[in-house]
Amino acid sequence: MGQQRVITNTHVVDVSRGQLIENRDVYITEGKISAIKKHKPQITYSGMEVTDGTDKYLIPGLIDSHVHVAIGPVKVRMDDQTPVIYLELEKEYAERTANLLIAYGVTTARDPGGLTEVTVGTKKAIARGEILGPEFSVAGSILDTLAFENLTTTVKNKAEILAEVKRQKAAGVDWVKLYTSLSPELLKAGIDAARDNGLKSVSHLHTTSWTEAARLGLDNIVHIIPGSNKLLPEAKRSEYEKFEALGAIAFYKWFEYVDLDSPEIADMLEAMSKNKVTLDPTLVPFHAAFFGNKNIYQSKAELQYMPEAMTNNWKTTFNFNLGWKEHDFTAAQAVWPKVEKLVRMLHEKGIMMTTGTDANNPWVVPGSSLHDELEVLVKCGLTSTEVLKMATIHGAKLIGMEKRVGQVKKGFEADLVLLNGNPFEDIANTKNIETVFVNGKPVNSKAVLEKLKR
């Protein structure tokens, strides 16, 4: 018999059925849950490491389906009088991100795009035990027609797309990330190349609409901002086009012009449902932008764990609401209820959604931001039970790990989080962490955070 641990007298959170299984002993052997039994006070646990779970709640490790580890400050330089946007990559940031995720109970994650050598390298380093972090499923460099140094690979045709997908497959990616400027034809080429190479496709869409992408066979859409004017009522399209070149202002303008009860949106929802397209809405970065004048995210204590170079970059150079005036914030906040309504519509249509954060984008701190995402989703009108399922079972299904992670269940990996409050009663209790277990081994979250504090 291998190394054994038991978490005694805990309340097991059954996310599949939305029920508590009270007063249970959860046995862990060699990193997996080997048994779940009714607690009996007279039992002794000789030869086992014991964690007292009395009056505590045991949930599966949380899953963040949108984390960026290949990250650093976003900057602009001039090359022969031509502006070049680039990421100033810092090797230390990937390890810091991985550590933060674990400290906040995120034991599985997906990175949907970044410099291939960094995303794959981080995934492999964690698997080898060199870095404390969640198990990762990753995409590599993002395929786009536009250049963004250290983030995208520029592609102009089907042959270039296929060649890049093959390179990334050989490097060890799990996903192919397809970006906003790709036409339906190029998006289709990327989807086909991914599938032909045994990979999944994920896209941040704009030029191609969600409806078109669903019918082309895309696996996963990211971000709650559809953006495409093809989804607007025809009479509003030319007016919206005036704002598309204004960056993040287009995010809220799209919601000003959209009619969520229109035939265009009904067709989009039907196409997504019929073709089983999943969505990673990443509400937090947009909520942080739309409510940026309220100082909600900019004042969070968790920013002390971020490198100063990153937070300074968000203040001065890279921010989704940089340059916004008060009327922009007023307009953005006025349409936020439409964002919430779209989330409810997607949920009611049965479209599988996961909990992603776009971590390491402006004001989105890895790990802690997932708990923000859960709370924002509940404010959209979903129940805590539904949101917790998104953060566990749905995330596991998205990345193909549903047979081994995402539930507190016999035979599953012992990636677990012991909470001091019932998350079914209040989703904010997911932040009230007592202990995180990675493959059955407890992690001292407070010690990890203390080490990362600046």
Band the pLDDT of 80: cuts 50, 70, 90: confident
Q: What is the mean pLDDT of residues 380-409?
A: 98
Q: With a threshold of 0.85, does the pTM exceed it?
A: yes
Confidence (pLDDT) at 91: 85
Which architecture does CATH list for 4-61+406-443? Roll (2.30)
Domain ranges of the chain: 4-61+406-443, 62-398
Whether 4-61+406-443 shares its CATH topology with 62-398 is answered no
**350, pLDDT greater than 90:** yes
Q: What is the pLDDT of residue 232?
A: 98
Confidence of residue 454 (pLDDT cuts 50, 70, 90): confident
Amino acid at residue number 226: P
CA 386 from centre of chain: 16
Give the per-residue pLDDT at 2. 61
Class of 62-398 in CATH: alpha beta
Tell me, what's the pLDDT at 245? 81
